[in-house]
Each structure stands twice: as structure tokens, then as C-alpha cells.
Amino acid sequence: MNTRLTLSSLALAAGLLGGAAPALAAELPSVVLVHGAFADGSDWAKVIPLLQARGVHVTSVQNGLESLAGDVAATQRAIALQKGKVVLVGHSWGGQVITEAGVNDKVGALVYVAAFAPGVGEAAGELGKDYPTPPGIAKLVADAQGFLSLPPQAMAEDFAQDVPAAQAAVMAVTQGAIQAKAFGDRTTVAAWQTRPSWYIVSANDRMIDPNLERAMAKKIGATVTTLPTSHVPQQSRPAEVAAVILQAVQAVAR
């Protein structure tokens, strides 16, 4: 099912900001948030309080960004600590992580936020081979150990061009560098094959081609919301991102 931002999403977003919104079920699943490359767990700082305000228990994973296996293990540890069902949310590189980790029996739904959604045997680094190289990817720099990061100017212009300059400057300092080899790690399972999924397409993304995002969302049969944002809608449009996550929470809670 492919949709634009729905009226129900807008209603939920309004509720998060103080207006009326549908009540959520009493037994809510937890939400586990998985950040991507060039970020850390604080990347979700604007979304977390909006979910907590609706009574949702939230955990933000801190990925090592050294390998797919390592980040999946960190996510699985977070899932194991939850009492009941889980909605697993991944941004960017975190999409590959939730695709692998999401086969955990506790996981009831997946939410991809401008994220990679590979199939079995696919690697994030090869998914964009048939699309133009995004501007931000062309500006990555590697250190002597092969870890990739974004220069501050690229963070401001290509990763988070729709947030205030001061915020982008902080994001450049707190970013997590990712081991380049991780982009070659292949998934062994694809949780979206057996779980309902939601996908947020960032229409102005300069890190993952928006057309690739649309293609991946279609491939996995996700419910799609398109936002006019950079690669980090959780930073520039947190209420709309929270609204999509709450749709998944409601679906699992039923």
C-alpha cells in the first residue's frame, strides 16, 4: 500500500503537538530506534519525547558502525530488554540492520526512515548501483583505518540541509564514522518478508537517491509516507516521523 502523508498521520502529529488525537491501545509495543551512519543514538532526540508523551517505551540503540553483525547484535540486545512486542525503526544504514535483526520473534513491525531495505543476500553498498551517486556520498572521507565520515560542510549541505546551521554543526561533531567494509556486508534474512512495514521517503535526500527509496519501499510492500525533507526527517520533521511510527505501534497493539 503506497500513500502520501495521510489524514490520520496528520491527526496523530497534531495530537503529539497538543491537539486531539486517537487514543492508543493500553498494551503498547515498545519502540526500538536504530540510527544510521554518520550519526549516533541522539539522532532520534526530537522523536523520542513525542513517543514517550503517548506512553510508548522507547530505546535508542548505539551502533558501533563497524559491521552489520555488530550492529545487529547491539539491536538484538536492545530488543531482548523489551517486555513485549517491538516496533523496530531504522534510519539509513539502520534499515539494513532492522532488516536482519527484525526476524526476532518480539518484532511485530518495521519502520524504515530514508533507509536501506535490502533483500536476502544484498548489501547496502550495492543497492544504489543503478542510480546516480548522491552528492553527499561523493564527499565522504576515509581515515587510515577505513572509517568514513562527512566533512562539516557536507553535513550541512547534503545530510541535514533543512535543519538550522548550528544544529548541523553539532551533528557533524557527534556523527559516528562507519567502517567502509560494512557497506559490503550482506543480509542473511529479510524481516520485511514476514512483518508489516512502513517507509518514509525523503524527497530531497542527498545521501540516498529518493527514487531508490521509492523503489525499495515498493519492493517491500510498505505503507509509504513522502516528506519534503533532507536525509534526516527525524530531525527536521519529527512530529510527522513520530506519527508514522505510531501508526505501526497501533497496528501491532491491535
Which DSSP state fits 123?
B
In the prediction, which pLDDT does 137 show? 97
Contact (Cβ atoms closer than 8 angstroms) between residue 249 and residue 31: yes
254 residues of the chain, pLDDT tens digit each: 444 343 344 344 444 444 434 444 458 999 999 999 999 999 999 999 999 999 999 999 999 999 999 999 999 999 999 999 999 999 999 999 999 999 999 999 999 999 999 999 999 999 999 999 999 999 999 999 999 999 999 999 999 999 999 999 999 999 999 999 999 999 999 999 999 999 999 999 999 999 999 999 999 999 999 999 999 999 999 999 999 999 999 999 98
pLDDT of residue 27: 84
Distance from the Cα of residue 86 to its chain's centroid: 15
Q: CA nearest 115: which of 199, 175, 237?
A: 199
Calpha distance 88→162 (Å, rounded): 25
- C-alpha–C-alpha distance, residues 143 and 7, integer Å: 46
